[in-house]
C-alpha cells in the first residue's frame, strides 16, 4: 500500500491561527481513532470481499490513491477503492480534471455500484486512523483548487478534512464551490459535538438516496464567495440544517430549495 508523504502547501501559512483548540479537538481525535479502528475491524470482511471482486473484474490495484489538501494545506494520499478499468493518469491522481461520469465506459460494474452506494469511500477509514482525516469536516480539496484559493477560502483548511461535512448534507456535488466553501467556513466557526452528530446522521439518507450526485461543469470552478447578506439571510430564514441545493438539468444550474426533496428528484434518485 503506497503512501504519499505529507508535504506543505503554499497556502497553509496562517491557517493554524484559525484552528479551534481545547478539549473538543482532543476528544474528537480520540473518537476518530477509536471509531476508525472499530469500523476497520467491523468491515474487514467487506473490505476483503470488495478487494477480491475489484481484482477479479479488472487488472490493477485495489486502491486508488489521490493527492489531496489536508489541514493547514498539507498534502496526503486519499484512499478509495478503484472503480475504473484503465490505469490512473496524473490527472486522476491530482484531481486536475472533472470527475468521471457514472456513464463512463471506463467504470467497472463493481465500480459503478461502489460509487452509487458510497462504498468506494470506505478506505478513508485508513486516513482517519492515521490522523489525516476526521469522520466530519470539510471534504479534502483536490490539488488544482489551490490556484483559486484566497484568504477567504483558506479558512476551510484550518481543520482536518472529513469523510462527510456540512456541504455534503446540503446538496453535495450540485453546490457551487463558493457556497461549499461558505458552508465549510460556517462549520469551522460552529464546530461542536452536537453539529458533528447531526451532520453524521444526516449523511446516511443523503448517500442512500443518491442525493446531489448530478452537477454541471461550471459549478465546479465557480469559487466566487456568495454575498454575505444572502448567506446570512438564508441561515436566518431556513436554518443551516434545512438549506438544500437542487440541480436543474434544463438550465444546468443549481437553486436553493426547502429541506424536503422535490418529488421529481425523488423519482430520479
* Number of compact structural domains in the chain: 2
180 and 89 together in one domain: no
Task: List the beta strands (DSSP E) in the chain.
Answer: 63-69, 75-81, 134-136, 141-142, 162-164, 244-248, 253-257
Mean pLDDT of the chain: 77
83 and 201 together in one domain: no
The pLDDT tens digits of the residues spanning 11-20 come to 454 555 555 6
For 73-98, what is the mean pLDDT? 73
16 and 129 together in one domain: yes
For residue 145, the model assigns a pLDDT of 86
Task: List the beta strands (DSSP E) in 26-179.
Answer: 63-69, 75-81, 134-136, 141-142, 162-164
For 2-11, what is the mean pLDDT? 46
Range of the domain at 172: 165-269
4 and 118 together in one domain: yes
The contacts of residue 83 (CB under 8 Å, 6+ apart) are 64, 107, 108, 110, 111, 112, 114, 115, 120
For residue 260, the model assigns a pLDDT of 41
The contacts of residue 91 (CB under 8 Å, 6+ apart) are 97
3 and 120 together in one domain: yes
CA dist 111 and 84 (Å) reads 6
The pLDDT tens digits of the residues spanning 123-172 come to 999 999 999 999 999 999 989 888 888 999 999 999 999 999 988 887 77
For 74-100, what is the mean pLDDT? 71
For 90-108, what is the mean pLDDT? 57
Amino acid at each position: 500500500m503506497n503512501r504519499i508523504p505529507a508535504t506543505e502547501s503554499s497556502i497553509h501559512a496562517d491557517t493554524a491561527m484559525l484552528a479551534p483548540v481545547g478539549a473538543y479537538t482532543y476528544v474528537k481525535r480520540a473518537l476518530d481513532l477509536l471509531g476508525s479502528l472499530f469500523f476497520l475491524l467491523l468491515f474487514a470482511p467487506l473490505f476483503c470481499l470488495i478487494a477480491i471482486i475489484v481484482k477479479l473484474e479488472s487488472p490493477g490495484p485495489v486502491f486508488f490513491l489521490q493527492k489531496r489538501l489536508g489541514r493547514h494545506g498539507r498534502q496526503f494520499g486519499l484512499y478509495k477503492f478503484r472503480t475504473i478499468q484503465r490505469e490512473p493518469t496524473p490527472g486522476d491522481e491530482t484531481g486536475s480534471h472533472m470527475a468521471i461520469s457514472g456513464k463512463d465506459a471506463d467504470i467497472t460494474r463493481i465500480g459503478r455500484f461502489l460509487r452509487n452506494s458510497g462504498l468506494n469511500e470506505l478506505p478513508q477509514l485508513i486516513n482517519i486512523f492515521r490522523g489525516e482525516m476526521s469522520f466530519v469536516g470539510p471534504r479534502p480539496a483536490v490539488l488544482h483548487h489551490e490556484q483559486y484559493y484566497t484568504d477567504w477560502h483558506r479558512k476551510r483548511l484550518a481543520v482536518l478534512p472529513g469523510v462527510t461535512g456540512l456541504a455534503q448534507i446540503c446538496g453535495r456535488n450540485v453546490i457551487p464551490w463558493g457556497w461549499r466553501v461558505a458552508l465549510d467556513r460556517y462549520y469551522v466557526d460552529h464546530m461542536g459535538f452536537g453539529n458533528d452528530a447531526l451532520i453524521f446522521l444526516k449523511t446516511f439518507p443523503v448517500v442512500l438516496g443518491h442525493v446531489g450526485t448530478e452537477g454541471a461543469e461550471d459549478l465546479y470552478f465557480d469559487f466566487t464567495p456568495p454575498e454575505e447578506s444572502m448567506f446570512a439571510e438564508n441561515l436566518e430564514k431556513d436554518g443551516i440544517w434545512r438549506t438544500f441545493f437542487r440541480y436543474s438539468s434544463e438550465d444546468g444550474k443549481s437553486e436553493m430549495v426547502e429541506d424536503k426533496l422535490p418529488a421529481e428528484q425523488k423519482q430520479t434518485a
